[in-house]
Chain A
Amino acid sequence: MSAQTFHHALKIQEDICIGCAHCMNVCPTGALRVVQGKAKLLAERCVDCGECYRACPVNAITVEQDDFSRVFDFSHSVLLVPELLFGQFPEDVDKSLIKEALHQLGFNEVVEVEHAAGILQQSTHEYMQGSDQERPLISAFCPAVVRLIQVKFPALVDHILLQKPPLDITALYYRKKLEDSGLDPDQIGIFYVTQCAAKIAAIKSPVGETHSYMDGVVNMDYIYNKVYATLKAQKKNGAQPPASPEQQPLSPEGILWSLTHGEADRVEGRCLAIDGIHNVMEFLEKVENEEMSGVDFLELRACDESCAGGILNPANRFLTVERLRNKARQQEQTPVKPARGIDHYRDYLHRNLALKPVAPRSIMKLDEDMTRALNKMRRVKDLMNTLPGVDCGVCGAPSCSALAEDIVNNKATLRDCIFIQRKYEQKNLQRPDESFDIMRRIWGDDKLIGNR
């Protein structure tokens, strides 16, 4: 296998991690182990879905973001925000006040990502009319899903609809627009407010792109706190600026794009929308087996309630969805259609909206060599008859089968299993202090020595 590095925005803070294995037990790709009493991430298996972040009881898993002061490295900075950001605030907080607060933080322009929804929708329509790519086509919108397909469903990479998500199209549009206006390209800084770790990974190590269109990422919770503080101070000082009408309001489709059904309801043909990573995996199993026919398009999102359920969103996902849906409804009743700047770049964006093919990188393989893989599989099968099958995780691996695979790949030993230890002790093949040392190696001194 070629040497590759995968950028992950999710980081385990070793000094905070208590080695409780909660993360290991929820990881959908089996990307975590416990070693020396700390969670350890297996980079090639991680898809940045954030399930571990949700499960951690001590906040030892963090989402890295760029240093905010980078904004000031550019004379012209643009902040791309998902409409969801406005949905984090109660309905009585006017959008213009939030935007104004973002300007005050140092951004020259604040632009909703979903302005590109219309162009993407049109392009998807044209593509589906003219292409015989195997159906169902799978949207490339959610980076965690794209990565999940690469590692766990390699046969389905050919189903990915190779079009940039709205975020990248809007970034491309803004950069081009500002360059055309005569700004020095090096002085244009494009930043993105993210609701999840997967989007950061997609920006730092893009799939289907040679480089990212973003200069930096700001996390949703961070920006929320900043805006919240600004709004609160304004209110306290009586310095709240008057709310102003939006100059370029988003279309209802744009407002709803990142929610469940946001894409599926707008693509022609038989489309399904599925959210939640376990639901997505269950469905991809069926797609892979060709257990269904006649489905044209799949909108798959790793988070429950799609991006409203992103791990960095401070607001409750159901309330966010309600707010965005209300807003879209209001927008539908507004008959005025203002000129949208992005339309002037329609042709340019259409030409540049394709992604490069996504390569599979299966994490399932036991070995690159088929004969060796068969031998390893025989050993795994034998081991599974020896191991207890309770998936207790005491060995530091998420399941008996994960331990068996680790054993055949020389990353663990059969004696890591607590049931095997008892068995060996019973037969006088292993002393209790030897078992103790094994447990110490896995769970660390803290849990086994001294008083916790």
Chain B
Amino acid sequence: MEFDYQITGGDFSSAGFASSHLKKILKQLGIQPRLIKKIVIAMYEAEVNIVAHAWQGWIHVRIEPQAIRLEIQDQGPGIEDIERAMEDGYSTASEEVREMGFGAGMGLSNIKNNSDDLEITSTVNEGTELTIIKKFQ
């Protein structure tokens, strides 16, 4: 089962749409509430990352009976230092983004904490790719 979402950079009012949609799907599949929560948090953070940092992005969701895989790809500034970006509280978000209540620097670490596997590749001034895997067991 696959789903695709397109996310527009800067569109804060729509942030959360894709994660809400995915949440409904996971509920219909009868995934345990605790797991749904983790997956939706990871998805939401990924969504907000695109909105806050990138120009545009795509999320491809693939659901198998054993696991869910989120492939997130954006066109944007990329991440210079992935290791630092993974640290709690590290953020390159602009003042405007922070004023909107985003950009607290918890995004990537939150994704990592809520997934079983996280892969990040990024090219500065081109974009970032994330693959998130969460097993259902």
Q: Which residue of B25, B30, B40, B136 is within 8 Å of A362 (Cβ)?
A: B30
List of B residues within 8 angstroms of A63 by Cβ: none
A160 CB to nearest chain B CB (Å)? 13
B82 CB to nearest chain A CB (Å)? 24
Q: Sort chain B's interface into a size bin.
A: 20 to 34
- Pick out which of these stretches binds chain A: B16-24, B51-59, B89-97: B16-24
B33 and A154 form a contact (CB under 8 A): yes
B29 and A377 form a contact (CB under 8 A): yes
Quick one: which of B1-42 are within 8 Å of A by CB? 1, 16, 19-20, 23-25, 27-31, 33-34, 36-37, 40-41
Q: Which residue of A289, A374, A380 is within 8 Å of B23 (Cβ)?
A: A289
Q: Which residue of A155, A368, A380 is within 8 Å of B37 (Cβ)?
A: A155
Judged by a CB distance under 8 angstroms, whether A378 is at the interface is yes
A155 and B33 form a contact (CB under 8 A): yes
A358 CB to nearest chain B CB (Å)? 12
List of B residues within 8 angstroms of A351 by Cβ: none
B20, B28, B34 — which one has the most chain A CB atoms within 10 A of its CB?
B28
List of B residues within 8 angstroms of A285 by Cβ: 20, 23
Q: Which residue of B19, B25, B65, B136 is within 8 Å of A289 (Cβ)?
A: B19
Judged by a CB distance under 8 angstroms, whether A449 is at the interface is no
B1 and A290 form a contact (CB under 8 A): no
- Interface flags, A145-189, vs B, CB<8A=1, else 0: 000000000111100000000000000000000000000000000
B37 and A374 form a contact (CB under 8 A): no
CA of A377 to CA of B28 in the docked complex: distance in angstroms? Answer: 8
List of B residues within 8 angstroms of A362 by Cβ: 27, 30, 33
Judged by a CB distance under 8 angstroms, whether A58 is at the interface is no
List of B residues within 8 angstroms of A378 by Cβ: 1
A-B contact count (CB 8 A): 64
A370 and B16 form a contact (CB under 8 A): no
B44 and A373 form a contact (CB under 8 A): no
A377 and B33 form a contact (CB under 8 A): no
Judged by a CB distance under 8 angstroms, whether B118 is at the interface is no
Question: Contacts A288-B23, A289-B16, A290-B41 hold; do A373 and B28 have CB atoms under 8 A apart?
Answer: yes
B30 and A373 form a contact (CB under 8 A): yes
Judged by a CB distance under 8 angstroms, whether B85 is at the interface is no
Q: Sort chain A's interface into a size bin.
A: 20 to 34
Q: Which residue of B16, B25, B36 is within 8 Å of A377 (Cβ)?
A: B25
Judged by a CB distance under 8 angstroms, whether B86 is at the interface is no
A289 and B44 form a contact (CB under 8 A): yes
B27 and A365 form a contact (CB under 8 A): yes
A364 and B63 form a contact (CB under 8 A): no
Minimum CB distance partner of B66 in chain A: A370
List of A residues within 8 angstroms of B33 by Cβ: 154-157, 360, 362
CA of A381 to CA of B41 in the docked complex: distance in angstroms? Answer: 24
A contact patch SS: helix
List of A residues within 8 angstroms of B29 by Cβ: 365-366, 370, 373-374, 377
Judged by a CB distance under 8 angstroms, whether A452 is at the interface is no
CA of A370 to CA of B136 in the docked complex: distance in angstroms? Answer: 10
CA of A50 to CA of B63 in the docked complex: distance in angstroms? Answer: 37
Question: Contacts A364-B28, A365-B30 hold; do A288 and B40 have CB atoms under 8 A apart?
Answer: yes
A370 and B36 form a contact (CB under 8 A): no
A289 CB to nearest chain B CB (Å)? 5
Minimum CB distance partner of A157 in chain B: B33
B24 and A291 form a contact (CB under 8 A): no
A285, A289, A370, A378 — which one has the most chain B CB atoms within 10 A of its CB?
A289
Judged by a CB distance under 8 angstroms, whether A371 is at the interface is yes
Judged by a CB distance under 8 angstroms, whether A391 is at the interface is no
A286 and B30 form a contact (CB under 8 A): no
Question: Contacts A289-B23, A289-B44 hold; do A366 and B28 have CB atoms under 8 A apart?
Answer: yes
Judged by a CB distance under 8 angstroms, whether A367 is at the interface is yes
Minimum CB distance partner of B40 in chain A: A289
B16 and A291 form a contact (CB under 8 A): yes
CA of A184 to CA of B64 in the docked complex: distance in angstroms? Answer: 62
List of B residues within 8 angstroms of A367 by Cβ: 30
A365 and B36 form a contact (CB under 8 A): no
List of B residues within 8 angstroms of A157 by Cβ: 33
A377 and B1 form a contact (CB under 8 A): yes
Minimum CB distance partner of A405 in chain B: B28
Q: Which residue of B30, B34, B36, B41 is within 8 Å of A366 (Cβ)?
A: B30
Minimum CB distance partner of A378 in chain B: B1
A154 and B27 form a contact (CB under 8 A): yes
CA of A378 to CA of B1 in the docked complex: distance in angstroms? Answer: 7
A157, A288, A360, A374 — which one has the most chain B CB atoms within 10 A of its CB?
A288
List of A residues within 8 angstroms of B28 by Cβ: 364-366, 373, 377, 380
Minimum CB distance partner of A154 in chain B: B33
A374 and B30 form a contact (CB under 8 A): no
CA of A378 to CA of B3 in the docked complex: distance in angstroms? Answer: 11
| Additional pairs, 8, CB under 8 Å, beyond known A365-B30, A370-B65 | A155-B34, A155-B36, A291-B16, A365-B29, A370-B29, A374-B64, A374-B65, A377-B1
4 closest Cβ contacts across the A-B interface? A155-B33, A364-B27, A365-B30, A373-B29
Chain A residues near B (Cβ < 8 Å): 154-157, 285-286, 288-291, 360, 362, 364-368, 370-371, 373-374, 377-378, 380-381
